[in-house]
Chain A
Amino acid sequence: MTVEAAEEIAAQEFASIVESHRPQIFRFLLASLRDLDLAETLTQECFLKAHRNWKRFRGESSAMTWLMRIAINLQKDHWRNRRLQFWRHTQANAVDVNEASEWLPNGERNAEQQMLAREQVAQVWKSVESLSGRQRTVFLLRYVEERELSEIARATGLSEGTVKAHLSRALGRVRAQLRGTR
């Protein structure tokens, strides 16, 4: 096989990875940051980094886990930079919790059920907001991205025990928040 042919195959593989995983990475970043523009920017950066390092990807974990790891690191870098550049307008672009909870799929629900669901979603957003960065990441990977504990551990670089502990605390917060409104 020639070098050009190998490169062509690698490019095609990467293109299919982008196509299949881009919406999930975007969703994770959107839920983490609640900022549309920033989520789009970091998604692009994530795939740019992945493209640069694609040759070094050995397939020890799934492509999704690898991409998630890159996205988590980008997000960390962003928060670290934002601490220094707090005056930047990024916070102003973040969507309010109440606004974020307005989104619900058009299911077979009556108005009362819709309202109740919206209220619940708002409460979950509030508890997510109060979580630490790691807890939030673990929580979103588990309950939005539906990742297995082992995958979460690989993506975050934590042990499974630590992931379980973070999840337990995060769920405790959600439970307490929901009980407060009941």
Chain B
Amino acid sequence: MNFRDKLAGEIEDPVVAGALENFKASVDAWSEAAYSRPRKAVKTARHSWRLAASWALGCVLAAGSLAGSLYERHQQQELARIAAEKAAQKAAQGLAPAKQSAAETVTDKRPTAAMNANGGDEDLLATVDSDVSRVVPAAMDPLAQLMNENGNE
């Protein structure tokens, strides 16, 4: 049975029926030509591009993480070095006043020893008094003078 005859009962409009017949014939011709066309087995480049892109991305990520870890390590070493330098400086600054005070003690002890050698306790006390009076602040000077005027106290 012809396609048009088949459609006759279904589609009353002859123009629509004719158009559908032409449509079917066109699809048939196109499909037949496409189906029988020679086919080439071509390796698609898309997969190789994908592979290359994934490799490149992987390499970039690996290099980035390596560079990041190296930088981090370098930073830590730098911080440790700075901390060590600071600690050394602090230690050096802490030792200097101790040495200075030790030296002063030694120099102060020399005249005392000399006086001891002279054997006078009163002299020693006078020296101590004069030492003490030396360190009295300026604001205390009038009081100190009063004490001298009143006698020993």
Residue of A nearest to B6 (CB): A146
Q: Is residue A86 contacting chain B, with contact meaning CB distance below 8 A?
A: no
| Chain A nearest CB, measured from B89 CB (Å) | 62
Number of A-B residue pairs, CB cutoff 8 Å, is 74
| Chain B nearest CB, measured from A126 CB (Å) | 11
A125 to B16: give the CA distance in the assembly, Å. 13
Contact across chains for B24 and A178 when beta carbons are under 8 A apart: no
Contacts of B39 in A (CB 8 A): 40
Number of interface residues, chain A, beta carbon within 8 A: 28
Residue of A nearest to B33 (CB): A103
A138 to B23: give the CA distance in the assembly, Å. 15
Docked complex: A89-136 residues within 8 A CB-CB of B: 100-101, 103-105, 107, 117, 120-121, 123-125
Contact across chains for B27 and A104 when beta carbons are under 8 A apart: no
Contacts of A30 in B (CB 8 A): 27, 30-31, 34
Q: Is residue B95 contacting chain A, with contact meaning CB distance below 8 A?
A: no
| Chain B nearest CB, measured from A7 CB (Å) | 29
Given known A-B contacts A104-B25, A121-B26, A175-B13, A27 and B19 have beta carbons under 8 A apart: no
Given known A-B contacts A103-B33, A120-B18, A27 and B27 have beta carbons under 8 A apart: yes
A selection of 13 A-B contacts at a CB cut-off of 8 Å is A23-B32, A23-B35, A27-B27, A30-B30, A30-B34, A36-B34, A101-B26, A105-B29, A120-B23, A143-B24, A144-B27, A174-B16, A178-B16
Which residues of B line the A interface, CB within 8 A?
3, 6-7, 11, 13, 15-16, 18-20, 22-35, 39
